[in-house]
Amino acid sequence: MSVQATLDAGRQSAQAAGPFALNVTAIRDLGPRLRRVTLGGAGLHGFATDDGATWDMRVKLVIPSPGRPLPQPEAFEGHDGAGAALTWRQGWLRLPEAGRGELRSYTVREARLGQASPEIDVDFVLHPGGPQGPAARWAGKLRTGDPALVVGPRAAAGNCQGIEFAPGGARHVLLAGDETALPAIAGILRDLPAGIRAEAFIEVPDAAMVEELPSRATATVTWLQRSGHGHGELLTGAVRRAIPATAGLPDPDARDSGLEEVGPERTLLWDTPQYRRLFGAPADGPDADGAPFYAWIAGESSMVTGLRRHLVRECGIHRGSVAFMGYWKQGTPQR
Ligand SMILES: Cc1cc2nc3c(=O)[nH]c(=O)nc-3n(C[C@H](O)[C@H](O)[C@H](O)COP(=O)(O)OP(=O)(O)OC[C@H]3O[C@@H](n4cnc5c(N)ncnc54)[C@H](O)[C@@H]3O)c2cc1C
């Protein structure tokens, strides 16, 4: 089944995604700001991937409330007044607020599900010296053996929800993001087939986060080390140079359509062809299947908003060919 078909199937089912009770099986610090946490448990045999590939798959982590245990997965289950099974989120929202913890999004950096003890890796950006949220604090204190609760796609539901990367038939792919998007960009590069041209731009705090990113695609990776520059400044400049305003197809509809739809009530910008398709926005012209170029952009929300303005408004690139994802927002906790 294609990623799109499985996403559609997953949308139909309340059981498409659910909580997995896991344990920390390893912790590796990859420099002072990046911590790789390996999570394992027999339950992971029920975790879905796209035929082994995870691309940019996101999961939710339940971060325990201070001094409280993590909720049990069974606590998410139940039925509404009409007898319909609750989604995991509805179940979680019914739990008493004081003990249900906080939800935060992370990326499956790697899944090793075929082995006797299946595992996934999650890379946590730590921001020492900066504002600390519940997830960064929790990740910084984890020890091997600690429990973890991950909400992810269920194999039994025949879906692989949480994959946003959907280039259709594009042969040229642009990937751009900051350090929080590094796990996703690494996963996309790893899972791309040969014959695709991939250009990746990754802005990181310093050289400690620079690593080899293997790919079968014809890939170039440009690392931009922030060292003193404002967040997103180097990445924005690099993308603007890679795709100058004159390079796009002039498309007046694309320039003006829908750019104001992300209102102040939404903390994070999230404007992707997949999301619009799944959550009911009208189809807006040709989709990525027919386009030779596809861009995937993620990271700090204001930075992504600026790049969206550039690519859609100034370059006229159709929104059906670009996924814009605010992964976090400076000064604002994730909700
Ligand atoms: C789909 C998706 C996938 C993601 N994948 C990853 C991933 O693999 N690894 C990863 O590290 N992050 C990832 N993120 C980003 C992560 O969810 C956010 O950084 C989240 O805000 C962290 O939660 P928190 O509880 O630590 O901070 P919050 O409570 O959300 O925020 C508290 C404060 O910390 C600040 N803050 C949050 N994140 C950062 C940061 N990275 N640098 C500096 N300040 C920050 C906020 O602006 C706020 O002021 C992903 C986000 C999404 C939406």
What long-range pairs does 64-72 form, CB within 8 A, spacing at least 24?
Answer: 64/101, 64/138, 65/98, 65/99, 65/100, 65/101, 65/102, 68/98, 68/99, 68/101, 69/99, 69/147, 70/21, 70/101, 70/147, 70/148, 70/149, 71/95, 71/99, 71/100, 71/101, 71/149, 72/21
| Ligand 1 atom 23: residue of nearest CA | 135
Q: Where are the beta strands (DSSP E) in 171-285?
A: 172-177, 197-204, 218-225, 270-271
**Ligand 1 probe mutation, 29, 163, 180, most atoms within 8 A of CB:** 180
**Which pLDDT value is given to residue 3?**
45
Q: Choose between 285 and 186: higher pLDDT.
A: 186
Token pair of 264 as six digits:
């102040």
Ligand 1 touching residue 127 (CB < 6 A): yes
The confidence score (pLDDT) of residue 246 equals 66
Cα 303 to Cα 42: distance, rounded to the nearest angstrom: 39
Report the mean per-residue pLDDT for the chain.
Answer: 88
Q: What percent of the chain has pLDDT over 90?
A: 68
Q: Does residue 124 have its Cβ closer than 6 Å to ligand 1? A: yes
Least confident of 81-95, 135-149, 223-237, 242-256: 242-256
Residue 325 scores a pLDDT above 90 = yes
Closest ligand 1 atom to Cα of 325: 53
pLDDT the model gives residue 250: 47
Res 2: pLDDT: 46
Q: How many CB atoms lie within 10 A of CB 168?
A: 16
pLDDT the model gives residue 256: 44
Q: How confident is the model at residue 22 (pLDDT cuts 50, 70, 90)?
A: very high
Whether residue 330 has its Cβ less than 6 Å from ligand 1: yes
Give the β-pairing of 172-177 and 293-300.
parallel
pLDDT of residue 264: 43
Higher pLDDT residue, 228 or 106? 106
Distance from the Cα of residue 117 to its chain's centroid: 25
Give the model confidence (pLDDT) of 251-303 as tens digits.
545 444 444 444 444 678 999 988 877 766 554 544 545 678 999 999 999 99
Q: Is the CB of 106 under 6 A from ligand 1?
A: yes
Which residue's entry shows tokens 């996101």?
58
Residue 4 reports pLDDT greater than 50: no
First to last CA, the chain: 32
Q: Which residue has the higher pLDDT, 8 or 46?
A: 46
pLDDT of residue 247: 52
* Cα 57 to Cα 38: distance, rounded to the nearest angstrom: 16
How many other C-beta atoms lie within 10 A of the C-beta of residue 298? Answer: 31
CB atoms within 10 A of CB 210: 15
Distance between Cα 303 and ligand 1 center (Å): 14
What is this structure's pTM? Answer: 0.92
* Cβ 13 under 6 angstroms from ligand 1: no
| Short-list 331, 335, 334, CA closest to 131 | 331
More confident position, 261 or 79: 79
Q: Which long-range contacts (CB under 8 A, 24 or more apart) does 250-256 make?
A: 250/316, 251/316, 251/317, 251/318, 252/316, 253/285, 254/285, 254/312, 254/316, 254/317, 254/318, 254/319, 255/312, 255/313, 255/316, 256/313
State residue 265's pLDDT score.
43
Q: Which of 127, 122, 134 is nearest to 26 (CA)?
A: 122
Residue 291: its pLDDT value, please? 79
Residues 10-33 have a mean pLDDT of 86
Q: Whose CA is nearest to atom 49 of ligand 1?
A: 331
Contacts of 233-238 spanning 24+ positions with Cβ under 8 A? 234/203, 235/176, 235/177, 235/178, 235/201, 235/202, 235/203, 235/299, 235/303, 235/307, 236/303, 236/306, 236/307, 236/310, 238/176, 238/201, 238/203
From the alpha carbon of 107, which atom of ligand 1 is closest?
8
85 compared with 277, residue with greater pLDDT? 85
Report the C-alpha gap between 334 and 80 in whole angstroms. 27
Q: For position 121, what pLDDT does the model report?
A: 98
pLDDT tens column, 196-242: 999 999 999 999 999 999 999 999 999 999 988 999 999 999 999 99
Does 156 score more than 90 pLDDT? Answer: no
Please work out whether the CB of residue 183 comes within 6 Å of at least one atom of ligand 1: yes
Kindly tell me if the per-residue pLDDT of 84 is higher than 70: yes
